[in-house]
Homo-oligomer: A and B are copies of this chain.
Amino acid sequence: MLSRVNGLHAGSIVGVLKSRLDSALRGVDDHSDHPTMFCHHEMEARDVTKDSMAPPGWSGCGAVSAFDQAPVINRVETFSREFVAFVRVSASDGTGGWGQVSPYHADISAQVLHRQVVPWALGQPASDIAALVSSIPEHEHKFPGSYLRRALAGLETALWDRAGKIQQKSVCELLGGTPGPIRAYGSSMRRDITAQAEAERLVALRQQFGFDAFKFRVGAECGHDVDQWPGRSEEIVPKVRRALGPDVSLLVDGNGGFSPSRAITLGQMLEDEGVEHFEEPCLYWELEQTREVTQALSLDVTGGEQDCDLATWRRMVEMPAVDIVQPDVCYVGGMLRAMKVAKMAQLQGLPCTPHCANLSMVTLFTMHLLRAIPNAGKYLEFSIEGPEYYPWQEGLFVESPFTVNEGQVTVSDKPGWGVEIHPDWLADTTYQVSELPH
């Protein structure tokens, strides 16, 4: 494998990517005294000529497998800024596709991708997405949690785009669904906004785009029962309800702001106001707290956006801690892992309303998911924040896939994700590439 980094603009110079596979292949090529791989577990140096746990890319070092004739992943490129990083995957047959690692600190996730995900993917069959998605977290099991999965999502979503382009189908079709419309709810990301101002902008958005469902925020993020400012939660709920009238679906997000008892008290007020969805009432890692709220209230208590460990998901669903599951396609590690969560929920009779809180590709991924799973929730989360609040999501695409008509967005029937990343955006990024030797 060759790894290079080019700063495509002067402000982005990063250290030369040194991947594990790099070191490993150096060891092999050099025929040094220690032809071993110093992997990042602790810590078995491996004889790469025999080890069955060797990165799959090493099969070229001598092993022969049944997949030897299938096109293999031979290059993974990333185009990174701090908030967004796109991934281009290429295969030995010249095919390829585009995906995205999870937003926020995306440049770090891109590094994790090159360091800990790509070495296990290079040389592997590009079409066997499931095998990569299940094996990579085990290979990198010393790094449970967010970053590895944020990075894995980048590889996985790019492989789906490639698969769609080869088969001339949209990803949702590959996953068993059909292109078409999806009801969206307008999702506010702000707590620094007064009840009055929030109500006014939701009314205007309903007028402009036809949304018939909105989510807004109560409490404060991990707030321990201290509101964003005193009385805000009690004020905003009736204010928004009065402004939008009785026919609009209302959802609120607690972002882990409450103890169970405070969440239940507030939840009763939410029920009185006809709010139908109470998201993350308690600290999300305290599943028993969330379950307590779920059991006490009749409205739907929802959650799971932060959870990226499938064992935790299984527990959450089996309890069940929530009425509706909300995996985030990027946080959880891609489409297949999100669909595993949806499947667990389906078996328990729970709907899946994924989390997708910005207009980078994560909302597009979620649109395809919702058109493919049988237990899709009632609507797609659709951020209402514009360039003044999320300037970093501007200019990502040649043509936006996020047009809203009468409160609905549409999954197109174009191949793959059906979207083209804007070349101007790509030109102003940090570029990294990991590839097999030519």
Q: Show the binding face of A for B, using Cβ within 8 Å.
A: 11-16, 18, 34, 36, 38, 40-47, 51-53, 82-83, 103-105, 107-108, 111-112, 115-116, 138-139, 141-148, 189-192, 217, 220-223, 226, 256, 283-287, 306-309, 311-312, 331, 357-358, 385, 388-392, 430
Residues on the B chain within 8 Å of A143, using CB: 105, 145-147
Are A222 and B43 interface neighbours, CB within 8 A?
A: no
Name A309's contact: one of B47, B141, B285, B358 (CB within 8 Å): B285
Closest Cβ neighbor of A103 among chain B residues = B42
> Are B306 and A141 in contact (CB-based, < 8 A)?
yes
Which residues of chain B come closer than 8 Å to A111, judged between CB atoms? 108, 111
Determine which of B115, B192, B311 lies in contact with A47 in the assembled complex, contact meaning CB atoms within 8 Å.
B192
Contact across chains for A43 and B357 when beta carbons are under 8 A apart:
yes
Residue of B nearest to A14 (CB): B15
Cα–Cα, bound, A104→B140 (Å)? 11
Can you pick out 10 interface pairs between chain A and chain B where the beta carbons lie within 8 Å of each other? A42-B357, A43-B385, A43-B389, A44-B192, A105-B115, A139-B222, A141-B221, A141-B256, A146-B146, A147-B147
Q: Is the interface of A mostly helix, strand, loop or mixed?
A: loop
B144 touching A44 by the CB < 8 A rule?
no
Q: Which chain B residue has the least Cβ–Cβ distance from A47?
A: B192
Residues of B within 8 A of A430 (CB): 15
* A108:B105 contact, CB within 8 angstroms: no
A283 to B53, CA, bound (A): 15
Q: Which residues of B contact A331 (CB under 8 A)?
A: 142
Please name all residues of chain B whose beta carbon is closer than 8 Å to the beta carbon of A52 when the two chains form the complex. 220, 226
B13 touches A15 (CB 8 A): yes
- What is the distance, in angstroms, from A270's C-beta to the closest C-beta of chain B? 20
Q: B residues within 8 A CB of A189?
A: 42-44
Given contacts A42-B357, A141-B221, A143-B146, 9 further A-B contacts (CB under 8 A): A13-B13, A13-B14, A15-B430, A38-B392, A44-B190, A105-B112, A105-B143, A142-B331, A147-B147
Contact A146 B138 (CB under 8 A): no
A223 vs B223: C-alpha distance when bound (angstroms): 42
| Residues on B with beta carbons closer than 8 Å to the beta carbon of A112 | 105, 108, 147
**B contact residues around A144 at 8 Å (CB):** 145-146, 285, 306-308
A285, chain B: closest CB distance, angstroms: 4
